[in-house]
Amino acid sequence: MIRRLRKVYLARFAGVMLLMPAAAGAQEGVALLEQNCGGCHMADETGALSRIEGQRKTPEGWLMTIVRMRLFHGMEITPDEQSRLVHYLSDTQGLAPAETEGYRYILEREPAVVEEVGAPLGEMCARCHSAARVALQRRTQDEWDLHIDFHVGQYPTLEYQALGRDRDWLKLAREEVVPLLAERYPLETDAWTAWAAAQKPEATGSWVFTTRLPEQGEAYGSLEVSGETQPYAVSGTLVTAAGEELPVSGKLNVYTGYEWRANLDIGGTAYRQILAISEDGGSLAGRQFLHAEDSLGGAFSAVRAGASPAIAGVVPSTLAAGSDASVQIVGTGLSGVDLTGALEASGGTANAYGAAIAVSPAAGSDGGVSVASAGAAKEDALTVYSHVDSLRVEPAFGLARVGGAGGSASKVPARFEAVGYWKGPDGETGTQDDIRIGVVPATWSVAPFNEEADQLKDVDHAGKMDRTLGIFMPAVAGPNPERPFSTNNAGNLKVLATLGEVTGEGQLIVTVQRWVDPPIR
C-alpha cells in the first residue's frame, strides 16, 4: 500500500498539472463539487458542503485531499474531473499571495531547508511533516479541531511515538494547538478577501528570465505563453552561460490567479516550474528543477517583456577580474546599460533578452557592480573578484537518498554550490561581516565526516561526487555484503569545495529511500 500511495501521488500530481483541461467555471465547479463530494459531505441551507466550506488550501493541498478521498474513502473521480475540481477549489478557496510568503520553499520542493519551529507546533506537528505544510492551509476553529480527530483516526499510534508519549498529546492538541492554529491561520483573512476581489494578472504574453541548470550553470532566455484556455502553450529559448541555445516547449496551468505550474521540455530534458506571478503581473519568481529529480534545480526569475523597463538579472552574476567577457543584462525596455562599481562600462547591444555588454574588469578589481538602464536598476547584480578569502558550501547541510536496485524509489542526488566571500571590516574570515561574492567555480570532493564514518568507509560506499559540478550521486539501495552487518549504503560525509588555497566544508547525510512523497512534504 505504501508504494502504491507514492506512485499514485506522483502520477496524479504530474497528470493534474500537465495536459489537463481549462479551469472549471463557477457553475461547472459547483456541479463538480456536488457530484463528486456531495455523497459524503452534507450541504447546509446555502448549499455549501460540510468540511469543505471551512478550509482553504494551495493547489497541491487540494490535490492531496482529493487523492486521500480516493485512496481511503472510495471516491471515484476521473483524472479530467480531478483536474477541474483542483482548479475550482484553488480558485475559490485558495491562499492569497501574501499567505504563502515565507513557506513557498515547500511548494517549490527546495531540498535543503532546515525549519526552525517553536513550541508547541515543533513537537505537535513538525515531528511528522514540515511546519510549512501546516501554514499553507486555512481553517475555521471547528475545522482545526476536527483536523485533530482526523490525525488520531488516521494515525492511531501518534500519541505513543517520539515527542508524543511523554505528554498528554490529545489534551495539548485540543487546548493549546487548536486555538493557536485558529488564531494564526484562520479561514477568513483580509488578504484573501482582497485577493478574491482583485483583478488577476495575466500569464499569457512574453517573459525574459534567468535561472540555473544543474549541469550547465547560469542561464537566461525567453518564454512565450499563449492560448485562450488552460493549459496554455509555452515556447521559447534558453541560452546557457556558454552560449548554447536550447529550445523550450511545454504546457502551463495557473491556479488561484497566480500559482504558475508548468511542465517543460528544455533541449530534450523534462523540467518543472513552480512559480508565483507577482500581483501586478510584471514578474515571476520561484524554482525550476528536473522533472525526474526535484533536488536538482535552481531559482527562476522573470520579468514581462514589453512592459515597463525592468531587470531580471545578470548572466554571469560573478566575473573573474583580469579578462574580457560579455555580460547579458536580462530585462525589458533597456535602451542602454550603465555598470557602476568595481566595473565601469556603458552602452551594450540590445537583443531578445535585454542587452549584452562587453566588459574588461581590471586585474585586481573586487566589488559589487550595479546595473541601470532606462530607469530600471539592480544593485550589486554582478560581482567582480580577483581573489577569494573563504568559501562556504551551500547548502551547509544536504541530504541524498540511496535508491534504484529495481525498486520503485529512485536515487535522490544532492547538489552543492561554492560561494566565495571576502573578509569584512574585522579582517577575519568566517565572521558575520564577511562580504558575499557569489557562486564561484570549485573542485569538489568528499571525506568522512567523523571517526565512525571513517571506520565504516562511508566515502567508498555511499556514492560519488562529481568533481566539477558539485552533484553527489548516492549509491544503490539494499544490503551491501561488503559493509559490517551487510548494512545499506548510508553515510555521513564532509563535502569539500576547493578553489586555489581556500577550502569550504559542508555536511551530507546519505540516507534511505522516501517511500511516500506527497506534493507537500
Task: Give per-residue pLDDT as tens, 101-120.
Answer: 999 999 999 999 999 999 99
Local confidence band at 16 (pLDDT 50, 70, 90 cut-offs): very low
pLDDT above 90 for 392: yes
**What CA–CA distances, in Å, run from 63 to 12, 33, 86, 88, 256?**
8, 14, 6, 11, 14
Q: Which pLDDT tens digit goes with each residue over 453-505?
A: 999 999 999 999 999 999 999 999 999 999 999 999 999 999 999 999 999 99
CA-to-CA distance for 46 and 54, rounded, in angstroms?
Answer: 14
pLDDT at 282: 97
Q: Which domains does the chain have, with CATH numbers?
A: 2-194 (no CATH), 205-304 (2.40.128.120), 310-385 (2.60.40.10), 390-511 (2.60.40.10)
Q: Please name every residue paired with 419 in a beta bridge, in sequence order, or none if there are none.
A: 392, 439
Mean pLDDT of 346-362: 95
Burial class of residue 236, CB neighbours in 10 A (0-12, 13-18, 19+): buried
CA neighbours within 13 Å on the CB side: how many for 335?
5
SS3 content of the chain, % helix, strand, coil (to 5): 25, 35, 40
- H or E stretch at 190: helix 190-197
C-alpha cell of residue 383: 560581482
Burial class (CB in 10 A: 0-12, 13-18, 19+), 24: buried
Q: Tens digits of per-residue pLDDT, 174-218? A: 999 999 999 999 999 999 999 999 999 999 999 999 999 999 999
pLDDT, tens digit, for every residue of 138-183? 999 999 999 999 999 999 998 888 888 999 999 999 999 999 999 9
User: What is the value of pTM for the model shown?
Assistant: 0.93
Over residues 217-223, mean pLDDT: 98
Indicate the burial class of 42 (C-beta count within 10 angstroms; 0-12, 13-18, 19 or more). Answer: exposed
Q: Can you give the pLDDT at residue 142? A: 97
For residue 406, pLDDT over 50 is answered with yes
pLDDT band, residue 9 (cuts 50/70/90): very low
Q: Which pLDDT does position 162 carry in this prediction? A: 87
From CA 90, how far away is CA 300, in angstroms rounded? 23
Q: Cβ-count burial of 414 within 10 angstroms (0-12 exposed, 13-18 middle, 19+ buried)?
A: buried
**What pLDDT, on a 0 to 100 scale, did the predictor assign at position 40?**
93
Q: Interior CA angle at 285 toward 279 and 290, to 5°?
A: 140
